């Protein structure tokens, strides 16, 4: 087998450059979405941390109820920032992009099925086995030999 034949077979079964580029673009978009989600979560955790520190400082040094309330509100706002980052990533990951909808509008080239879709009939299993049976005398099922002894 020549290497040219092998290379043709490999080229036939690999995707087209357009399909490969689409997969690479999709992977890059997913990386960007995850990066954005982690960035929002990091900022949200920072804000929650500031709120927790404010509540703890108010317990150690009684500054006032307004400071404790402000710390609690900042903590809740940080949770909102984190949740918003996650929900935004989920929304970006589940909604189809505008580019995907454009690709779906064109009709793809497909190989059509043949008009006669009924499969060819296969021979019966018993047809071949009856041909294999020998025409000679069939063996008996007797346990003892009934021929006279010589």
The widest CA-to-CA distance across the chain, in whole angstroms, is 125
0.75 exceeded by the pTM? no
pLDDT at 104 over 70: no
Rounded CA separation 35/29 (Å)? 10
> What is the H or E stretch that residue 36 is in?
helix 17-60
Secondary structure of 101-126 in HEC code, one letter for each residue: HHHHHCCCCCCCCCCCCCCCCCCCHH
pLDDT grade for 76, boundaries at 50, 70 and 90: very high
* pLDDT tens digit sequence for 85-101: 989 888 887 766 555 55
Distance of alpha carbon 102 from its chain centroid, rounded?
23
For 79, other C-beta atoms within 10 Å of its C-beta total: 14
């Amino acid at each position: 087998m020549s290497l040219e034949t092998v290379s043709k077979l490999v080229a036939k079964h690999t995707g087209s450059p357009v399909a490969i580029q689409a997969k690479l673009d999709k992977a890059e978009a997913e990386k960007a979405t995850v990066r954005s989600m982690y960035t929002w979560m990091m900022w949200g955790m920072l804000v929650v941390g500031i709120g927790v520190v404010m509540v703890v400082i108010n317990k150690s040094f009684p500054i006032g109820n307004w400071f404790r309330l402000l710390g609690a509100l900042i903590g809740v706002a940080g949770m909102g920032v984190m949740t918003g980052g996650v929900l935004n990533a989920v929304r970006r990951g589940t909604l189809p992009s505008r580019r995907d909808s454009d690709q779906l509008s064109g009709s793809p080239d497909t190989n059509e099925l043949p008009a006669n879709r009924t499969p060819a009939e296969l021979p019966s299993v018993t047809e071949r086995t009856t041909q294999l049976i020998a025409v000679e005398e069939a063996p008996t099922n007797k346990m003892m030999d009934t021929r006279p002894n010589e």
